């Protein structure tokens, strides 16, 4: 895979193993295009979370090349990684909210980390919490929130800084179907604003809810391309031309 | 939830090093750090105070005896002893390099020796021969050359005269004081090292117990420096709390000891009293402690974070 013009993420023959175990990801190659919407599917243990960890720079691969925003992120010094991470929003499967911070402060965290003045934080964070239906729970600690509420806080935190890439690991796993649909609509809205969205899910019904989405399927650490998402140019562009 | 996510802002400023307090849970006085730092600081202030007092004592004593000489007339016969003492005083008084000459009165010498020899309530020829003493102050410091010149000048007119620099008498005392000063300095160094070790342990422990939060901040784009600042600020507050409490305790101890020593009424001990500089040094101890604690915390956290991605 060469080039990189017009791409936001490129994986080239990426492999990942933990310790001396067998590879959990093997020869993974794909390209993500700006403004696209991707579903990453696969059975439990297929390597979805591992792939996402590589995408949100929580892990370096054992081999291969990963380019993000035009830069080889494998070889950049670790001091340079925060600048890349601030361009990526992440919804973790286990939410990973900071337990002693309120819902408001959890959502405000990416803005504070990015150095946004306090006077410019209050309103967007409050609006975002209202928007995900947590208008009454601004001051609630994660432990007092239900699973669905925690998930909504996690999603609000992931999107508050309007990332260029949004990576979501099973973001609708703990919410009812109505809320799952609303959250998908939020991701779509973000996608329309230019954010590249990658949603890992094993819920096949969800895939049909976003008609313009592309699907990547992981099977025992290897990527398959059922919709031509990984082709160059991707299927959608061929279809549109 | 019908509209597009309007609260999502464009053009968010790039990272500017924000480190909001409260991102990590704080345990303040509930934790051991302020107490440990407080105790260390109290001990450091006492050790530093002792070192400064010893330095002042030595400097004052040294200045006092810098140009001092003692001439002893070691003559058995009282009449000859008196004659040689008078001649020596006359010779010394005529020298330009001698600033002051004082024949120590016999009564004063006897009073000095009374604790050892008892009252000499006997005729002069039966009394234990005690040297006649002449206290001499030179213009300028005593050097071996000047000492030799004076010995030569007195050799003929007062052959029983023995000339000694006062500093020579007190050399062992100064050596002991210097050793004690080094001991105090060593104690301050050891206490500083112990404080740094305690902070290192506390920072490692805090980092371990907040690992999950640290990882989240990392993944949200937080920098090592930003995370380190959170810890160093927390430790800095602990160090400030403990440091100033320790300073108060240390100063109270020093004042108490100072009063007790003052009651001794010894001129040498009085020379160890503090000046403005000494108080300023002691007052700066907590600030140095805070800097040390924050620096240790920062380096500890940064070195631990370097092992994370």
Residue range A110-132, pLDDT digits in tens: 999 888 888 899 999 999 999 88
Q: Is the pLDDT of residue B7 over 50?
A: no
With cut-offs at 50, 70 and 90, classify the pLDDT of residue A231: low
Give the ipTM of the model, two decimals please.
Answer: 0.86
Q: Annotate A126-156 with b (16+ C-beta within 10 A) or e (fewer).
A: bbbbebbebeebeebbbeebeebbbbbbbbb
Q: Are strands B132-138 and A222-224 parallel, antiparallel or unpaired?
A: unpaired
In 10 A of CB B135, how many CB atoms?
A: 15
- Closest chain A residue to the Cα of B307, Cα to Cα: A78
Place of tokens 């450091």: B44
pTM, to two decimals: 0.74
The answer for A 104-163 residues in CB contact with B (under 8 A) is: 105, 109-118, 120, 123-128, 131-133, 157, 159-162
The whole-number pLDDT of residue B1 equals 42
Q: Give the lowest-confidence range in A44-48, A84-88, A192-196, B124-128.
A: B124-128
- In A, minimum Cα distance to B23 occurs at A101
User: Is residue B268 pLDDT above 70, yes or no?
Assistant: no
For residue B272, pLDDT over 80 is answered with no
| Residue B219 to residue A54: CA distance in whole angstroms | 12
Query: According to the model, what pLDDT value does residue B308 have?
Result: 83
Dihedral of the alpha carbons of B205, B210, B212, B213, in degrees to the nearest 10: -150
The pLDDT tens digits of the residues spanning B155-168 come to 999 999 999 888 77
- Among A86, A98, A105, the residue with its CB nearest the CB of B221 is A86
pLDDT of A79-108, one tens digit each? Answer: 899 999 999 999 998 899 999 899 999 999
The pLDDT of B13-30, averaged and rounded, is 50
pLDDT of residue B119: 73
Section B167-172 average pLDDT: 78
Mean pLDDT of B211-218: 90
- Does the pLDDT value for residue A54 go beyond 50? yes
Range of weakest confidence among A24-28, A118-122, A159-163, B168-172: B168-172
A17: left (phi over 0), alpha (psi -120 to 50) or beta: beta
Query: What does R_g of chain B's alpha carbons equal in angstroms?
Result: 33
pLDDT band at B4; cut points 50, 70, 90: very low
Q: What is the mean pLDDT of residues B23-47?
A: 81
Mean pLDDT of B28-52: 88
Residue of B nearest to A129 (CA): B7
pLDDT band at B14 (very low <50, low <70, confident <90, very high): very low
- Does residue B11 have a pLDDT over 80? no
Confidence grade of residue B254 (pLDDT, cut at 50, 70, 90): very high
CB B75 within 8 A of CB B281: no
In Å, how far is A53's CA from the nearest CA of chain B? 10
Which H helix or E strand runs over B305? helix B276-305
Burial class (CB in 10 A: 0-12, 13-18, 19+), A35: middle
Best B4, B220, B222 residue to mutate vs chain A (most A CBs within 10 Å):
B220
- What is the number of CB-based contacts under 8 A between chain A and chain B? 120
Between CA B250 and CA B49 the distance in angstroms is 9
**B contacts of A157 (beta carbons < 8 Å):** 220
In this prediction, residue A200 carries a pLDDT of 92
Query: Is the Cβ of A62 closer than 8 Å to some Cβ of chain B?
Result: no
Looking at residue B66, what is its pLDDT? 73
Please give the average per-residue pLDDT across A140-147, as a whole number.
Answer: 92
């Amino acid at each position: 895979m060469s080039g990189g013009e017009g791409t936001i993420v490129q994986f080239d023959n990426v492999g990942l193993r933990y310790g001396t175990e067998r590879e959990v990801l093997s020869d993974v190659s794909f390209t993500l295009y700006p403004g696209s919407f991707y579903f990453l599917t696969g059975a439990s243990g297929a390597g979805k979370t591992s792939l996402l960890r590589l995408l949100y720079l929580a892990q370096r691969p054992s081999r291969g090349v990963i380019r993000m925003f035009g830069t080889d992120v494998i070889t950049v010094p670790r001091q340079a990684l925060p600048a890349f991470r601030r361009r990526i929003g992440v919804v973790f499967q286990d939410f990973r909210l900071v337990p002693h911070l309120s819902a408001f402060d959890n959502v405000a965290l990416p803005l504070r980390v990015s150095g946004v003045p306090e006077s410019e934080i209050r309103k967007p964070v409050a609006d975002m919490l209202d928007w995900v239906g947590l208008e009454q729970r601004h001051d609630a600690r994660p432990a007092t929130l239900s699973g669905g509420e925690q998930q909504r806080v996690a999603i609000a935190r992931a999107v508050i800084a309007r990332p260029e890439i949004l990576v979501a690991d099973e973001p609708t796993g703990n919410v009812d179907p109505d809320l799952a649909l609303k959250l998908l609509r939020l991701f779509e809205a973000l996608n329309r604003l230019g954010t590249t969205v990658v949603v890992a899910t094993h819920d096949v019904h969800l895939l049909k809810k976003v008609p313009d989405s592309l699907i990547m399927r992981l099977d025992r650490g290897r990527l398959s391309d059922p919709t031509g998402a990984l082709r160059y140019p991707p299927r959608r562009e061929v279809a549109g031309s | 939830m019908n509209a597009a996510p309007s609260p999502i802002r464009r053009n968010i400023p790039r990272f500017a090093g924000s480190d909001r307090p409260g991102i990590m849970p704080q345990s303040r006085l509930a934790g051991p750090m302020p107490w440990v730092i407080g105790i260390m600081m109290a001990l450091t202030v006492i050790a530093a105070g002792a070192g400064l007092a010893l330095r002042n004592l030595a400097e004052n004593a040294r200045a006092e005896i810098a140009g001092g000489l003692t001439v002893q007339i070691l003559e058995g016969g009282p009449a000859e002893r008196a004659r040689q003492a008078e001649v020596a005083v006359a010779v010394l008084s005529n020298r330009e390099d001698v600033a002051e000459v004082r024949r120590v009165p016999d009564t004063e010498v006897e009073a000095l020796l009374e604790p050892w020899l008892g009252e000499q309530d006997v005729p002069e020829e039966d009394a234990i021969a005690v040297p006649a003493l002449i206290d001499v102050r030179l213009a300028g410091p005593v050097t071996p050359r000047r000492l030799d010149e004076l010995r030569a000048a007195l050799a003929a007119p007062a052959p029983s005269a023995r000339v000694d620099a006062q500093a020579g008498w007190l050399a062992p005392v100064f050596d002991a004081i210097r050793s004690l000063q080094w001991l105090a300095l060593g104690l301050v160094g050891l206490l500083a090292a112990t404080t740094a070790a305690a902070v290192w342990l506390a920072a490692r422990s805090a980092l371990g117990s907040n690992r999950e939060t640290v990882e989240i901040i990392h993944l949200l784009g937080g920098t090592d420096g930003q995370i380190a600042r959170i810890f160093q600020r927390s430790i800095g507050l602990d160090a400030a709390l403990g440091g100033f409490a320790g300073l108060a305790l240390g100063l109270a101890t020093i004042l108490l000891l100072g009063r007790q020593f003052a009651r001794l009424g010894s001129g040498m001990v009085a020379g160890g009293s503090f000046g403005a500089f000494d108080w300023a040094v002691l007052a700066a101890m907590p600030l140095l402690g805070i800097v040390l604690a924050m620096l240790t915390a920062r380096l500890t956290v940064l070195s631990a974070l370097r092992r994370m991605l």
